[in-house]
Amino acid sequence: MVRKIMTPFLLFLCLFCLASADERDPLLNVDELIRLEASYEQFLGNLGDLLIEKGLMTAGEKAEWITMQMGDYLSNGGYGSILTSFYPGVLEYSREEEQICEPSARLELGTVSLLTMRRYSPMETTSDGLMLQMNMTGTDGAPLEVRFTLSGTDGVFYCWDALSGGYQSVGSTVEVEGETVFWVLPIPVEGQVAPVLQINVTETETGRFLGQIVFELEVEKNSYIVSPERFRTAVADADTTRTAEGPDPGTPPGSREEEDEDPNG
């Protein structure tokens, strides 16, 4: 008897909430969810392919799985809405260890971009290390097939190992072509020299060297800080040093060129 009374009551409450919703209502109704349906279904397709690749689902189950997920997305347990968790001021409580940072540097043939986190705290983070994921786009914005060789002055790199189903240490140098790697560093100590990452970029097919990126972390107490301006090309560093020190040392005073200009010579 109680169940018969509660069911119409819950339905009335749901309809009342939807009817009274305004632009700032935290409940996203079905009409609003349908606006995102196409992009969400595309995401489910890509996610389903990954599940199949990992052996967690068969190809024959993908369509039914997407249908189930879409039904749950639009109905959300029968209430026809999804409650959003954002509220004013919530960003003030986010930790830098959970915020992404995307520094970039230009080479002659294009731009190298890095996806990482703003802060890495070995004692507090739950990840395997500082996430590093790189890609390069040409001057036209199209992705380029390149290989990145990473070597650090400290720490080791961890890469995904399909056989073990987890991340494994590969030492202080690693080669990647877009895969995510983790840079595992020791807990910082006072007065420690900031670790530096050197990234050599080569063309995948020809092996042609395209340039080098230098990425220097900052040390702050027990954490490493990522500063976008410290992700830069090595050539820029050399040019800056030369400008500060004076003219190119390749033409010293008293050279052949200066002697030819001497009117008494």
Predicted confidence pLDDT, tens digits, the chain (265 residues): 444 443 443 333 444 444 444 566 777 777 888 888 889 899 999 999 999 998 999 999 999 988 888 887 877 644 566 777 766 776 777 778 778 889 999 999 999 999 999 889 888 776 778 999 999 999 999 999 999 999 999 999 999 887 887 889 999 999 999 899 999 999 988 788 999 999 999 999 999 999 999 999 999 888 999 999 999 998 644 443 333 344 444 444 444 444 444 545 4
- Name which of 154, 147, 155, 151 is nearest 128 in CA terms: 155
How far lies 58's CA from each of 47, 55, 61, 63, 236, in Å? 13, 7, 5, 10, 50
Q: What is the pLDDT of residues 5-60, one digit of tens each?
A: 434 433 334 444 444 445 667 777 778 888 888 898 999 999 999 999 989 999 99
The residue extents of the domains of the chain are 9-84, 95-245
What's the CA gap between 167 and 48, in Å, rounded?
22
